[in-house]
Amino acid sequence: MTQHMTGFRMYDEFAHLWTQISAPEGYADEAEILRDLLFELLDKEPGRDRPAVLEMGVGGGNNLCHMTEYVDAVAADISHAMLSVSQELNPEAEHVVGDMRSMRLDRKFDAVIVHDAISYMLTEGDLLSTFETARAHLEPGGVFIAGPDWLAGVTEIPNISSKLGEPGMLSYTEFVHDPDPADAEIELIFTFFIPQPGGSVKVEEDRHRHGLFPIETWLKLLRRAGFEPNSRRYPSEASSGAGYHFTGIAI
Ligand SMILES: C[S@@+](CC[C@H](N)C(=O)[O-])C[C@H]1O[C@@H](n2cnc3c(N)ncnc32)[C@H](O)[C@@H]1O
């Protein structure tokens, strides 16, 4: 029987298809920007220093796989199935199950990263809890970096995108809309086209909720969690994300 650990089909029953949904190459440009930002904020040198980094919401590890050459990584996610995918790609990293809002590993890191998975934080309370989790895993001077998919006032919504798979591989569309502009939630509706043996195609739907917050909210909550906050713009061609990284230096 399929175990639904996260409530999202993509991260449970379809996790084995993750590599067809999203590939490491798609993360390479932004990962390079993230890596440079990380070493700059830590005042360390890639190749000489090897900082200890916790990535929460690591997913399939597509971002992390561009980092493991330079850092000692612990990878966390709420989904067992996604951790298995990341473990395959990043065997050198330690993998642990954890909810970014509440996990406590009882150890400190040089840096904590939450890439696009932070988009699953739906309320200011969720976002603050995640920042507090990051702070709990850092000494003063430690670095936090987040890379949300969406930002209120920056990202155009509604939008639609699609990926056509190679023959025999999964294809999908992703429609993003804001059902209620009065709250901070947006809805992502995925349609997966999954080739079956014999040539037929199964069509499956999966609906996700993400948070949509303005830049000021990110900075306000980072400060409240005990960080000196900042934001850094990066070229939008580098990823499908919002084009901003939020950083916090632990106070
Ligand atoms: C889009 S995927 C991340 C992909 C990842 N950036 C990569 O490089 O492969 C989003 C991930 O966030 C995880 N997630 C969602 N809510 C979470 C939470 N509260 N705590 C930890 N992980 C969470 C999901 O299980 C999923 O694996």
Same domain? 130 vs 243: yes
**pLDDT tens per residue across span 124-161:** 999 999 999 999 999 999 999 999 999 999 999 999 99
Residue 1 lies in a domain: no
Q: Which residue has a Cα nearest atom 18 of ligand 1?
A: 99
224 Cβ partners below 8 Å, 6+ apart? 128, 131
* CB distance 78 to ligand 1 below 6 Å: yes
Ligand 1 atom 27, closest CA: 59
pLDDT of 4 strictly over 60: no
- Based on the fold, state whether residues 43 and 147 are members of the same structural domain: yes
CB of 218 closer than 6 angstroms to any ligand 1 atom = no
103 and 75 Cβ atoms separated by less than 8 Å: no
Ligand 1 touching residue 144 (CB < 6 A): no
Confidence grade of residue 10 (pLDDT, cut at 50, 70, 90): very high
Q: Do 88 and 167 belong together in one domain?
A: no
Q: Are residues 116 and 225 in the same domain?
A: yes
Shared domain for 198 and 221, answered yes or no, is no
Q: Is residue 101 part of a domain?
A: yes
50 shares a domain with 174: no
Whether 241 maps to a domain, the answer reads: yes
What is the percentage of the chain residues whose pLDDT exceeds 70?
98
Which of these ranges, 85-89, 110-114, 240-244, has the smallest mean pLDDT? 240-244
CB-ligand 1 contact for 14 (6 Å cutoff) = no
Instruction: Tell me what the pLDDT averaged over the chain comes to.
Output: 96
pLDDT (mean) for 100-115: 98
Same domain, yes or no: 227 and 166: no
Asked whether 18 lines ligand 1 (CB < 6 A), one says no
Are residues 42 and 144 both part of a single domain? yes
Q: Is the CB of 116 under 6 A from ligand 1?
A: yes
Provide the domain count of the chain.
2
What is the number of the ligand 1 atom nearest to the C-alpha of 100? 20
Residues 166 and 227 occupy one common structural domain: no
Indicate yes or no: pTM above 0.95.
Answer: yes
Same domain, 104 and 228: yes
Q: Check whether residue 137 and residue 97 sit in a common domain.
A: yes
- Beta carbon of 59 within 6 Å of any ligand 1 atom: yes
- Atom 4 of ligand 1 has which residue's CA nearest to it? 59
Whether residues 48 and 115 share a domain: the answer is yes
Q: Specify if 202 maps to a domain.
A: yes
Asked if the structure places residue 3 within a domain, the reply is no
The pLDDT tens digits of the residues spanning 161-205 come to 999 999 999 999 999 999 999 999 999 999 999 999 999 999 999
Q: Which domain holds residue 65?
A: 9-151+212-250
- Asked if residue 6 has pLDDT above 90, the reply is no
* CATH assignment at residue 239: 3.40.50.150
**Does the beta carbon of 170 lie inside 6 Å of ligand 1?**
no
Q: What is the pLDDT of residue 2?
A: 41
